[in-house]
Chain A
């Protein structure tokens, strides 16, 4: 549990410590992916955005004014990059309509179908609800961590999570019912 703090890791990474850079990458790649996914709603695009943003942040660590706030600084970069990618991609219209990005083909695996359903349900949440639910339920961050990274109060983090989960369950249940044959 005695993992070095972000401040320590950032300081070491600035001095060229590869181990510190790797620790930061391991700590923040999935959270960055969660934030990117909240914007682009496409798994592979979110992975690309997360990698690119993390690389860019590590290359420019000297510009991180407060190493203790590495996460909010990184996430701001992730959001910008994700929005830029969204803006120049053909899926802009789909995003506006709230449609999931992943295309389904006949015979898609159950995993792909489940992913698509989750993305579809996520797309009906607000951006901040998506970030909170992904960081909390996927990344397993505490409300304190989510609040600090997203610039929210813990109360608001709980509130967003509560609403997001309810909406997700409603959306997933609704989609599930829509997929069932009418005569069954």
Chain B
């Protein structure tokens, strides 16, 4: 059926089986589908997320620390004031009462 076939064997890469085998190997080795770098991307985002969470956690302490410091600085004054009222038997003014109560809330 194929008597008319041209002899193109001189152009056939399989004329050198070893060479052809090397070509196939190279294609198979380097032709593996590239794995999408999901893990490194997730790892990168994870680092950012952990850093943000740590910053948020730290920043959550700031108001508490500030209030504690304010309270620490005001507490002796407030105690001294209330003590002085008690010792003197005097009635505190509305402003003094308001300040003392507010300072107690802020603590």
Contacts and interface: CB of A to CB of B under 8 A. Distances in A.
A21 B11 contact: no
A165 B4 CA distance: 8
Nearest to A22: B28
Interface residues of A, number: 38
Contacts of B95: none
Interface in B1-60: 4-6, 8-14, 20, 23-24, 26-28, 30-34
B11 A55 contact: no
Contact of B8 (A50, A62, A134): A134
Contact of A47 (B9, B23, B31, B32): B23
Contacts of A33: 13
Nearest to A112: B10
Contact of B6 (A16, A55, A165): A165
Nearest to A43: B11
Counting contact residues on chain B (CB < 8 A from A), the size range is 20 to 34
Give chain A's interface secondary structure class.
Answer: helix
A168 B4 CA distance: 12
B30 A118 contact: no
Contact of A137 (B8, B23, B33, B34): B8
Interface of B: 4-6, 8-14, 20, 23-24, 26-28, 30-34
Given A21-B28, A30-B13, A30-B14, 19 more contacts: A18-B32, A21-B32, A25-B24, A29-B23, A30-B20, A37-B11, A47-B13, A50-B23, A51-B26, A54-B27, A55-B26, A55-B27, A55-B31, A57-B31, A60-B33, A133-B6, A137-B8, A138-B9, A138-B12
Interface of A: 13-14, 16, 18, 21-22, 25-26, 29-30, 33, 37, 43, 47, 50-51, 54-62, 111, 114-115, 118-119, 133-134, 136-138, 165, 168-169
15 contacts: A18-B32, A25-B24, A29-B23, A30-B14, A47-B23, A51-B23, A54-B27, A54-B31, A56-B31, A57-B31, A118-B8, A118-B10, A133-B6, A138-B9, A165-B4
